[in-house]
Chains A and B, each alone.
Chain A
């Protein structure tokens, strides 16, 4: 199963890269002239060159050779040069991507854990007062990320000053692997993470709750009771199986969280890809847009693969299927 998924992801990656290559070359008219016109006069030679490279103009090569060349550049990590920043796209991304991956990673894992644990309890103790959590969580899920982020920022950040806001860490500490910085990082990350978790937790919670209710009817849960196991262990028997669909959905959810997280980054002025992408789009900085697109695609694919491996580890039945 894992191998099949892996090849699927490889094909997806290839399609994404190829589309990324073709898209600018398909643009009608002469985008280069338009862009150069936009840059209001101060066009350097490098900028023109960067634009031409991105659109495959003036290379005097056929499409196939360009494609091969594109792959070559890609494999050595060369994503072209940003038009507006005049720096290589790869180095621009290098400073932004870790923030986004960190933010999304932490939020997704946290949301998954919180949702799964509460969903387990909601399912087991269904009909109890815990059920009142459900409408609350659904409400937060219904509110758009952007809106929730703004409200949270204004109320808890700007007005109540419970959390520091804007940026990823305090300007008064120097980045590095020391305690002050990590602490500042966590403090500044709290609100964006809370926003993303609030918006996405309901899905995990309800999914887990419903699966738990299904599992409770299973014979092996009855057997766990019949064995005189303490309640905690009985719940674990059910939860261990109920979590499988959630893990299977993890891959799907990651893609959704990414789009939301980019918006949240904008709200909180987080130095991740979200802000970068907005700037790039506004300035029509095609090489940068392409680079961001590629990185997001690859990250989501990698995360999917991780989620699949996780599932594979959790469900022994998939392992024998693979062997057959």
Chain B
């Protein structure tokens, strides 16, 4: 705890960082039974930028964001690290930016920050909206809690305005969640998330439960809303191709580790980690061209067992001896600042072709990667 930067330093050093996650560890369970779900993760979200987080189911994406926002429920335990949130303090007169240590914040400090600075949209809007309350009530509630000065009529007006942002008619306010379609519900959630002009909006697979067309529409809307209001965003998904249009940076998670971090286009066009490559091959391409989708062979490791070496080695088509004995760390790869946790890049000459592509020959990745075809299921 002692060596971390003080509040003021943090503010001056990384002025445009909204959320800084440092050396963050999260376990499920205690003592011997503990399962490490997030393992020494370092990530930051910059102001008005979108951080995409991708990875298979169970890789720890949700755990990471819930724990970072102190929403983790038992048996989840934060077992190490720091998380700080920087935002324009609405309570101070000169609108100074303020940094709060989220892991040390008291319940009342957290309540003040929640939704007004950090809002969250969950995968299933049906479950995220209280089934017995009208949509209008959800809006009224957050507004009256965080903006006590607002009158009832103003709150209603604001709710209608928010709904119109996501293309919904104000008459939806009188509806119950089960009376809306899945896409409408998710739009309601997005509108709700923007209700208080938060600094950061977290989207935990907001489109996974929707059909492809609605998925596209919503992602496009989100991109527009983000450009218009300038909030930062963490967008969690299985589907890397969704992130390319939306995200500025992408972090790929596997078994609780960030295995690759890069600007979105670099990562999409020129993956450096075998797992990223596998993910790209298993998600539909952006452009119309058809290609065979190839799943990653095998399944994520059982986190309750200790993993020797790289957590991906037993599924990796390029694995060699070192991979099964020593765990690679996330290290800066080149001048672009992208990071990867993979032994392959230690000797540049031996890097497989698929992981060596230059960012510029981008967007076509999938079609030209026969290299890991051995694992096809």
| A residues in contact (CB < 8 Å) with B | 216-220, 222-230, 233, 237, 240-241, 244, 314-317, 320
Residues of B within 8 A of A317 (CB): 131-132, 176, 178
What would be 21 A-B contacts, judged by CB atoms less than 8 Å apart?
A216-B73, A220-B128, A220-B130, A222-B73, A222-B128, A223-B122, A223-B129, A226-B71, A227-B115, A227-B145, A228-B115, A228-B116, A229-B111, A229-B142, A229-B145, A230-B111, A230-B145, A244-B132, A315-B132, A316-B178, A320-B179
Contact (Cβ within 8 A) A228 B178 = no
Chain B: interface size category: 20 to 34
Residues of A within 8 A of B131 (CB): 220, 241, 316-317
Residues of A within 8 A of B142 (CB): 227-229
| Residue B45 is within 8 A (CB to CB) of chain A in the complex | no
Contact (Cβ within 8 A) B71 A222 = yes
Residues of A within 8 A of B130 (CB): 220, 223-224, 237, 240-241
Nearest Cβ distance between residue B118 and chain A, in whole angstroms? 8
Contact (Cβ within 8 A) A228 B110 = yes
Nearest Cβ distance between residue A217 and chain B, in whole angstroms? 8
Closest residue of chain A to B145, judged by CB? A229
Residues of A within 8 A of B111 (CB): 228-230
Residues of A within 8 A of B132 (CB): 240-241, 244, 314-317
Residues of B within 8 A of A228 (CB): 110-116, 142, 145-146
- Give CA–CA (A315, B132) in the complex, Å: 6
Known contacts A229-B145, A317-B176: A219-B127 contact under CB 8 Å: yes
Nearest Cβ distance between residue B309 and chain A, in whole angstroms? 36
Count A-B contacts at CB 8 Å. Answer: 77
| B residues in contact (CB < 8 Å) with A | 69, 71, 73, 110-116, 119-120, 122, 124, 127-134, 141-142, 145-146, 176, 178-179
Residues of A within 8 A of B178 (CB): 316-317, 320
Seed contacts A241-B131, A317-B132; 10 additional CB < 8 Å A-B pairs = A220-B127, A222-B122, A223-B120, A227-B114, A227-B119, A227-B141, A228-B114, A228-B146, A229-B142, A240-B130
Closest residue of chain B to A240, judged by CB? B132
Residues of A within 8 A of B116 (CB): 228
Residues of B within 8 A of A219 (CB): 122, 124, 127-128
Known contacts A241-B130, A316-B178, A317-B176: A226-B141 contact under CB 8 Å: no
Known contacts A219-B128, A240-B130: A229-B141 contact under CB 8 Å: yes
Contact (Cβ within 8 A) A223 B128 = yes
Closest residue of chain B to A220, judged by CB? B130
Contact (Cβ within 8 A) A218 B127 = yes
- Give CA–CA (A227, B121) in the complex, Å: 11
Residues of A within 8 A of B134 (CB): 316
Contact (Cβ within 8 A) A226 B119 = yes
Closest residue of chain A to B70, judged by CB? A225
Residues of B within 8 A of A226 (CB): 69, 71, 114-115, 119-120
Residues of A within 8 A of B119 (CB): 226-227
